[in-house]
Amino acid sequence: MITGFLFRALDKKAIWVALALLAVALLVPLSNALLPVSHPLHVPTHIMALVGKYLCYAMLALALDLVWGYCGILSLGHGAFFALGGYAMGMYLMRQIGTRGVYGNPILPDFMVFLNWKELPWFWYGFDMFWFAMLMVLFVPGLLAFVFGWFAFRSRVNGVYLSIITQALTYALLLAFFRNEMGFGGNNGLTDFKDILGFSVQAQATRGALFAATAIGLALAFVICSGIVNSRYGKVLVSVRDAESRTRFIGYRVEHIKLFAFVVSAMIAGVAGALYVPQVGIINPGEFAPANSIEVVIWTAVGGRGTLVGPIIGAIAVNFGKSYFTAAFPEFWLFALGALFVATTLFLPKGIVGLVSSGFARLRTNREADRVEETLQPGTEAAE
Amino acid sequence: MPASPFPYDNPLDAPDRPMRLILLLSGLMALFMAVTGPVRADETELRAVIAKFAEAKKFSDTEAVIEEIVSLGDTAAVTALNELSEGRLMVRDSDGEVFIIKGGKDPLALLDPITLEQVGTAAESELSKIKIKNSIRRMIADAVSGLTLRAKDAHIRMEAAETIFSRPDPEIIETLDGVIAEEQDTGVRQAFIEARAAAVLSSDMSDDAKIDAIDILNARGGRDVLPILTTASTSDAAAVAEAAKTAIASVEERLMFWSAGQNIWYGISLGSVLLLAAIGLAITFGVMGVINMAHGEMVMLGAYTTFVVQEFIRNSAPGLFDYSLAIALPLAFLVSGAAGLVMERGIIRFLYGRPLETLLATWGVSLVLQQAVRTIFGPTNREVGNPSWMSGSFEIGELLITTNRLWIVVFSLVVFAILLLVLKRTRFGLQMRAVTQNRPMASSMGIATPWVDAFTFALGSGIAGIAGVALSQIDNVSPNLGQGYIIDSFMVVVFGGVGNLWGTLVGALTLGVANKFLEPYAGAVLAKIFILVFIILFIQKRPRGLFALKGRSVES
């Protein structure tokens, strides 16, 4: 069965994408580490860090696409899963600081000493172990998604109502994490990381390794998603998106189908967050902001929802635009982003990928039309 | 009523109402102050009497002068008497004039004993001190409290009573007995009686008198009688201690009642803010089913309209400032309504039936509007003033009510009522409801559904605009103003039930009151988190809100 899963997952397109990502994972850090700075193919460290960040975003967008593009659940709270994964990683990194903090306390992170706490809160136990932290990266977002989804899908909360309560969820978490009493560093979040697995997070080699891990993680997530959507289950998922009631009447347990996709998606988002934190060096409650989660939606929409390559392209393209705009014309970034939202929904319902593939389709039909010498109505394929 | 969708006619005739209400509620004292101002006896008369200190050779002469001052009953003498008690009232030997002296070294500054203005300087040798002794000091102290307690200005008498109440002194009882008998103003008289009761408890009068005093304090209630009663409850006399304990229990019980009342008021106040923010959304989301994420920005536009109107008034017609909100209301409605109309015609109408896409597109619009406002008006908070009739506060019992909050509560209810009327009683409202219930049928009946959609959306946005006018009075007017309300507004509408204005009203008030009741126990942030979690759970139980629409429209 697993072979079958893999076989279907690795169809021709998916192999190419996964291979391309693996090549990026290998070549970028190598070029950064080995090529001299003057070499035209040398990738500077800051560019590598930036692209690494984009890849994390791409993974988050991919996770969202799995539920939105394939299952029709528009989650406006995916940033919450991302941030929770990030916090789990951040907690591990905090424990690794040890006595090198400002207060030099071997167990308590600085902010707890500052708050005059005497003991480590119970939910920080175990985070000094990497394997445990990684487990939590998957487990915490997954559990939240499971509990939330279990209630929401069972009560048949769907459409915009679901979107609004996912937004409320991330908003509530935002407020909660801002509180110092929560024990996650309050407003400042977790930062000043030193080591990951014994290697300094600042070192060039570690950065290269983190970049490679991110690219490989994205490739893995892509293969998993590809396997899911190409399986029988994936077909049902799409049918839930297109005709939920009908699917239910046929006899599928729609809520279970949705729940599975939601939990997997949340876990992927959590991993993305965990890879994000050591690369940017900080995690704070701002990541829970509802606006962040909505931005993820636009990455997915711009790239093309309902395709797996789309969100990756979208996340990278939009964030590249953001980096460029906020540096060159800081005033105009929000105009550009706002316009992007409007333009994408009005003119590009299938995103960049949809545009390209419909362009290809049109080309092909035109050629066929030439061959058969028959005129087709232009734009037939582009229409819904 | 005409088929106009513009419900702002009524608040326009408002400006004279607030003044009346303030007068009514803050009672006679404020009226007295406003009309008469401070009252003084003839200044020259007092000056002549004070000048007599110069001729006073014996202590008995000084006492006589003090008595004469008291008989004038002019509070302007209080400073001179206090200075006399401190030994800083002096006579200039050359002409026998009386001054208050200031400064420690030569030459001393000479102050007029009544106006306290500096009139000259003199060396210490040119002056001689008016001699006093301890018995005179006591006399002066009594005279000062007697003067303030007998002041012609009721406000000063009231203040004096309150001072005595907070620092009860057994020696004042006799004076108080005198003024209680003379006092005409019942409010001040009551304050005197209460001050006397406080003084009695700190004296060594009989137990019966003390128990009476405890009863008086019990009847007064309030937080500040508690320390006095607590002291009394440790008294040696069992009867007094017992009475004090009973009184404490009774006062605390009433305080709890008042604090619950205060919480309810805060809750209603918060609820009315939520109602204002959500009510436009109840139209666009509730009636039309359009997720308008730019709703908060419509509120923001209204607030900035108020700012622009006030700026204009400040610069060109400062006299109209008190009417600025009334002027801003229709303008804000038009500005936000027009923005809504453009949005509906330009974007939303292409997205009907695709709610998730609508959500994204309107979010984009909200970003653009925020940035546009930031570019035009700058990223910092803008100052929007309170008109005079909206500032200040008053108390009912232990309830502190700020006037601007009261107006916002009233305003939100008025807006709600007008909106309800528009929906139920006007032709436009009828068409709106028809389109909501059955679009194809409404269309076949000759209703131009696209325009009904457009104007419904404009109405919802316009209402958000006038909400912005009200919210500009209590919140920072910044480009982020709308962001703070959008999630709360959606919560209210979803909680109350989509498509039902009453649901929005009940939802807003319930959430407001619940939030304020949780706050004392959980803190503001945690209270808000609880409310959010509660709504998330509530939606699971009742996915269509408190007042769900029944029938076929649910599935569409």
Longest CA span, chain B: 108
Residues in chain A: 384
Residues of A in contact with B370 (CB under 8 A): 334
Q: For residues B458 and B287, is the Cβ–Cβ distance under 8 A? A: no
CA distance A143 to chain B (A): 16
Tell me which residue in B365, B375, B529 faces A342 most closely, judged by beta carbons: B365
The bridge status of strand B393-396 relative to strand A195-196 is unpaired
Integer Cα distance of A292 and B528 in angstroms? 20
SS3 A189: coil
pLDDT at B33: 39
Q: Flag if B537 and A342 touch (Cβ within 8 Å).
A: no
- C-alpha A259: how far from chain center: 18
Q: Compute the nearest-CA separation of A335 from chain B (Å).
A: 5
Chain B neighbors of A334, CB-CB under 8 A: 367-368, 370-371, 374
Closest to A235 in 3D by CA, of A8, A52, A6, A1: A8
Residues 6+ apart with CB under 8 A from B43: B76, B114
pLDDT tens, residue by residue, B352-388: 888 888 888 999 999 999 999 999 998 888 888 888 8
Q: How far is A20 from chain B (nearest CA, A)?
A: 31
C-alpha dihedral sign at A362, A363, A364, A366? positive
**Contact assignment for B361 to A345 by CB distance below 8 Å:** yes
Beta-carbon contacts below 8 Å between A and B = 119
pLDDT at B94: 79
The crossing angle, in degrees rounded to 10, of helices A204-230 and A2-9 is 100
Cα→Cα distances B31→A170, A282, B25, B191, Å? 52, 61, 10, 18
Residue type, B332: A
- The per-residue pLDDT for B194 is 84
Is A157 in Cβ contact with B539 (below 8 Å)?
yes
Spatial separation of the C-alpha atoms in residues B270 and B384, rounded to whole Å: 20
- CA of B491, closest CA in chain A: separation in Å? 8
Residue type present at position B83? E
CA–CA dist B139, B59 (Å, integer): 12
Q: How many CB atoms sit inside 10 A of residue B208's CB? A: 10
Q: Six-digit token pair at B532?
A: 């959010």
Which residues in chain A have their CB less than 8 angstroms from residue B533's CB?
A: 172
B356, B519, B530, best to mutate vs chain A, most A CBs in 10 Å: B356
Q: Where are the beta strands (DSSP E) in chain A?
A: 190-191, 195-196, 199-200, 282-283
Q: Please state, in angstroms and as integers, the Cα–Cα distance from residue A116 to each residue in A94, A105, A108, A183, A271, following that order.
A: 17, 12, 10, 12, 32
**DSSP per residue, A278-341:** HHHSEE-GGGG-HHHHHHHHHHHHHH-TTSSHHHHHHHHHHHHHHHHHHHH-GGGHHHHHHHHH
* Closest residue in A to B489 (Cα–Cα): A164
Sole residue written with tokens 């932290």: A133
- Spatial neighbors of A156 by CB under 8 A, at least 6 apart, are A255, B543
* pLDDT of B6: 39
Where is average pLDDT lowest: A7-16, A192-201, B246-255? Answer: A7-16
Residue of A nearest to B525 (CA): A175
CA-to-CA separations, A377 to A127, A355, A365, in angstroms, rounded: 62, 18, 10
Helix residue ranges per DSSP H, B320-444 = 324-346, 355-377, 403-425, 427-437, 439-444
Q: Do A341 and B365 touch (CB under 8 A)?
A: yes
In CATH, the number for domain B10-18+258-523 is 1.10.3470
pLDDT of amino acid B373 = 93
- Prior bond of A378 cis (ω within 30°): no
Which pLDDT score is estimated for B35? Answer: 38
Which one of A173, A318, A334, A384 makes the best mutation probe of the B interface by having the most chain B beta carbons within 10 Å? A334
Distance between CA atoms of residues A179 and A288, nearest Å: 13
Neighbours of B152 (CB within 10 A): 14
Enclosing H/E stretch for A49: helix A45-71
pLDDT attached to residue B469: 92
- Average predicted confidence (pLDDT) for chain B: 81
Q: Classify burial at B259, counting beta carbons within 10 Å of its beta carbon; exposed 0-12, middle 13-18, buried 19 or more.
A: middle
Around Cβ A11, how many Cβ atoms within 10 Å? 12
Taking an 8 Å cut-off on Cβ atoms, the answer to whether A341 and B526 are in contact is: no
Q: Do A346 and B347 touch (CB under 8 A)?
A: yes
Q: Are residues B536 and A334, on separate chains, in Cβ contact within 8 Å?
A: no
Calpha distance B108→B124 (Å, rounded):
7
Look-up: residue for tokens 């004993």? B113
Looking at residue A2, its pLDDT comes to 65
- Contact between chains at A161 and B543 (C-beta distance less than 8 A): yes
Strand, helix or coil for residue B382: strand
CB-based contact B360 A298, cutoff 8 Å: yes
What would the pLDDT profile of B73-91 be if each residue is shown by its tens digit? 777 777 778 778 777 788 8
For chain A, give every domain's residue range.
2-349
Which is nearest to B156 in space by CA: B76, B65, B242, B60?
B76
Chain B residues with CB-CB distance to A under 8 A? 291, 293, 347, 350-351, 354-361, 363-372, 374-375, 483, 487, 490-491, 494, 525-526, 528-529, 532-533, 535-537, 539-541, 543
Burial class (CB in 10 A: 0-12, 13-18, 19+), B412: buried
B89 membership: H or E segment, kind and range:
strand B89-92
The reply to whether A349 touches chain B by the CB within 8 Å rule is yes
Neighbours of B311 (CB within 10 A): 14
Helix (H, G, I), strand (E, B) or coil at B121: strand
Q: Per residue in A168-184, pLDDT tens?
A: 999 999 999 998 888 89
The answer to pTM > 0.80 is no
Nearest to A338 among B351, B367, B533 (CB): B367
CB contact under 8 A, B351 and A163: no
Question: Are the Cβ atoms of B525 and A175 closer than 8 angstroms?
Answer: yes
Query: A268: closest CA among A146, A170, A138, A163?
Result: A138
Put simply, the answer to whether A161 touches B532 (Cβ < 8 Å) is: no
What was the pLDDT predicted at B549? Answer: 63
Q: What is the pLDDT of residue A6?
A: 66
CB-based contact B375 A345, cutoff 8 Å: no
Query: Distance between CA B311 and CA B52 in Å, rounded?
Result: 58
Residue A166 pLDDT grade (very low, low, confident, very high; cuts 50, 70, 90): very high
Residues of B in contact with A294 (CB under 8 A): 293, 360, 363
Contact between A168 and B540 using a beta-carbon 8 Å cutoff? no
State both tokens at B151: 């002041």
Which strand (E) or helix (H) includes residue B92? strand B89-92
Task: List the single residue in A148, A168, A331 with the smallest CB-CB distance to B491.
Answer: A168
Cβ B32 vs Cβ B80: under 8 Å: no
Q: Are B142 and B65 in contact (CB under 8 A)?
A: no
Q: What percent of chain A has pLDDT over 90?
A: 54
Distance of residue B17 Cα from the nearest chain A Cα, in angstroms: 40
Partner B contacted by A292 (CB < 8 A): no
Residue in chain B nearest A294 by alpha carbon = B360
| A338–B539 CB contact, under 8 Å | no
> B537 vs A168: CB contact, 8 Å cut-off?
no
Neighbours of B526 (CB within 10 A): 17
Per-domain boundaries in chain B: 10-18+258-523, 43-136, 148-256
Shortest CA gap A328–chain B (Å): 16
Crossing angle for the helix pair B524-541 and A160-178, to the nearest 10 degrees: 160
- pLDDT of chain B along its 556 residues, tens only? 344 443 333 333 334 444 443 334 344 333 333 333 344 446 777 787 877 777 777 788 888 888 787 777 777 777 778 778 777 788 888 777 888 887 766 677 888 877 777 877 777 777 877 777 888 887 787 777 777 777 777 787 887 788 778 777 777 787 778 778 877 788 888 888 888 888 888 787 788 888 888 888 888 887 778 888 888 887 777 888 888 888 888 888 888 888 888 889 989 988 998 998 898 888 888 777 788 889 999 999 999 999 999 999 988 888 888 888 899 999 999 999 999 999 999 999 898 888 888 888 999 999 999 999 999 998 888 888 888 888 888 877 778 888 888 999 999 999 999 999 998 999 999 998 888 888 889 899 999 989 999 999 999 999 999 999 988 988 889 998 888 888 888 889 888 887 778 889 999 999 999 988 888 888 888 888 899 889 888 888 887 788 776 655 444 4
Instruction: Name residue A316's amino acid.
Output: I
* Residue A380 near chain B (CB below 8 Å): no
Select the residue from B360, B485, B542 to test the A interface by mutation, using most A Cβ atoms within 10 A: B360
Closest residue in B to A347 (Cα) is B350
Per-residue pLDDT tens over the stretch B161-189: 887 787 777 777 877 787 788 777 888 88
Best of B375, B493, B540, B556 to substitute, by most chain A Cβ atoms within 10 angstroms, is B540
pLDDT value at residue A5: 66
Residue among A74, A156, A167 minimizing CB distance to B487: A167
A163 inside 8 A of chain B by CB:
yes
Ramachandran area for residue B295 (φ above 0: left; ψ -120 to 50: alpha; else beta): alpha
B174 and B144 Cβ atoms separated by less than 8 Å: no
Chain A environment of B372 (Cβ under 8 Å): 335
Partners of residue B377 in chain A, C-beta under 8 Å: none
